[in-house]
Amino acid sequence: MRSLQSLKEELRVLEQHFPKRLNAPFSIINATVDDITSTYRDSINQRSISICCKILEVPNKCLWYTESDNSDDVQEQLTLVFDELNSNSSNETRSVTLQLESIIERLNTFFNASNLLLPSHLITNSTNRIEPEDSGVDQEEEDDDDDETEQHQNHDHDQCSLDDDEKLPQTEQLVEDVDGISLENWQLLQSLKYKRINEAAQRNHEKIYSNNNNNNHSNSNTSARKESASSSSSSVLTSSVQATDRLMKELREIFRSQAYKKGDFTIELVDESLYEWNVKLFHVDKDSKLYVDLEEMKTSEKNLDKLDHILLSFTFNDNYPFAPPFVRVIRPIITGGHVYSGAICMELLTRQGWSSAYSVESLLFQIVATLCKAGARIDFNSLNETFSLQRAQQAFRHITSVHEKSGWYTAPKADG
């Protein structure tokens, strides 16, 4: 089999020929012995199509997939070629480059594009790198020596084989985003996806193990009760998967939004959890008193932590999007604006007022509008303090209890 070093060399050459460039027909965004992230540019619709690969076994066993939101016809083409590559064991003898070539050829045919082709010497070298299996140590050492020699030879050959119009100017702009998402946030979404897959596999393993134990230590009546409990557990599990998928989609759309890109707000996942977000709010309505306070806070001598934003917490549960997130203010201490001990008094944040059609971004905008319109102010005497989670939860329970009895006030249309 090819050595690990040989795979590294293949990926290096691919990165050299398809560097990260803005609006390039094809770019390798990131390539390691574990993962490959690349983009194919749809010249018709001016959109980037992600082509991703998880290398399951060195050097050729790959799992191909896409992370971009593609049109149905494009997705159909990708599904066909990915299924062919992922399910055909004979592809394990084909190099990563050859597998990638088949994907590019399928997209070229679909978009009637002929300007994107892998250089012939790249394919030839990749084919020649497939060596017979040998478990001897001497062969491994020989492979490494050959790889080092080939690396120098290929480097010279690569430099000479590019046509003049293929050569890239040194000032070429590097890729800043993938499918409208910054490279940093794209990589975050990738890591979340792998984490989700691993967690789902672990839960499935635990469920199977639990069921086996139940079958070995249960009589018929007990078994029926266990089956009912298992069914309930399965229902929760399905809901969790649904919540995770929805949150992944929400996060992806936020990373694409203009308000996020302009810096109106930022999002940080607490402990890399998809279910707990810290949202930093930097901009509010300029005609509001909250805006005046926010600007004053930035230059206040009392602001020891140099706080320049309002920090909100969004916590989601397994029933999202059919249940609202719990939203609270962490800091600074805010008075008025329907904020009570950090809890936000809005019918929208209760089960009665919530709708699964709301997105996180639209909810955020509604909260900001409510804070501004209801006269929220920053307490400068408590500028370096925070609202605790426990106090916010207690306040929210009290708020909802009161309004369940007395109802919610609906402002006149004249008030917005």
Report the Cα–Cα distance between both ends of the chain, in Å, rounded: 69
Cis amide bond preceding 332, omega within 30: yes
- The catalytic position among 52, 53, 62, 345 is 345
The angle at the Cα of 350, spanning 349 to 355, to the nearest 5 degrees, equals: 75
- Which residues are registered as beta bridge partners of 222? none
Backbone angles phi, psi at 137, to 5 degrees: -65, -35
Amino acid code (one letter) for 19: P
What are the structure tokens assigned to 129, written together?
Answer: 């790198």
Q: How many CB atoms lie within 10 A of CB 265?
A: 21
The angle at the Cα of 344, spanning 341 to 349, to the nearest 5 degrees, equals: 140
What are the structure tokens assigned to 330, written together?
Answer: 């962490």
SS3 410: coil
Backbone angles phi, psi at 236, to 5 degrees: -65, -40
Distance CA 293, CA 307 (A): 12
The angle at the Cα of 23, spanning 20 to 26, to the nearest 5 degrees, equals: 60
Distance CA 13, CA 94 (A): 17
| Cβ atoms 346, 400 nearer than 8 A | no
In angstroms, what CA-CA distances link 342 with 205, 278, 316, 330, 331?
40, 14, 17, 6, 8
| Cβ atoms 360, 250 nearer than 8 A | yes
53 part of the active site: no
Residue in 245, 253, 391, 252 with CA at minimum distance from that of residue 318:
245
- Which residues are registered as beta bridge partners of 181? 178
| Cβ atoms 25, 166 nearer than 8 A | no
| Cβ atoms 391, 342 nearer than 8 A | yes
- Which residues are registered as beta bridge partners of 49? 40
**Catalytic annotation, residues:** 345
